[in-house]
Structure 1
Amino acid sequence: MTTRKTYTAEFKRQAIELADREDIGPSRVARDLGISLSALSRWRKQAAKQGSLAFPGQGRMALTPQEQEIKRLQKELEILRQEREILVKAAACLGQNGRP
């Protein structure tokens, strides 16, 4: 099993800075740093899209506030579905016996 390399936010930002320089360019930066050109391109797009919010945590992509809210709502929905299922079963049991 191969382990996936993770890079710090600072490393990614510095790589992007170097890639943006006309005298160096993305291909040379990727080669010199030992990263793929596609990874560097992905980092550049993420930095352009998310600005200073890009690259939080341990090298993983950050969730946007909207994505975080969707995730929270999905968890809440699952809890409500489970609670509803319990109530439906309890009501069925009570209905069959005629009393609690």
Structure 2
Amino acid sequence: MPPRQRRSYTAEYKVEAAHRVIDSGRTISEVARELGIDPGMLSVWVTHEQRRVAAAEAHGDTPLEPAERAELQRLRRQVAELEKDNQFLVKASAYFAATRKNRPGSN
């Protein structure tokens, strides 16, 4: 039997999963079951996020509200999509510039 591959999670996913517990007041077990992840792992994420929020508050910073976090995620996805579009357009323009340059009778 081949060994199971470890799943990796982005930092954003971990924060969102932790806030599902913190913001909703639901148990770690409930949220872990809903997300299909190990409750012990989610517990570590919740503890880490609670410490991060407490440290931010100690320095006078206010943590992001759930709506702000959602908007930040949406904007990050949008920026990533726009960067992909931009890369495509750069490649396409280079391609068309090269084909136009190589066309007979164009100098």
- TM-score of the alignment, normalized to the shorter chain, above 0.5: no
Q: TM-score, normalised by structure 1?
A: 0.44
Q: TM-score, normalised by structure 2?
A: 0.42
Higher relative contact order (CA 8 A, sep 6+): 1
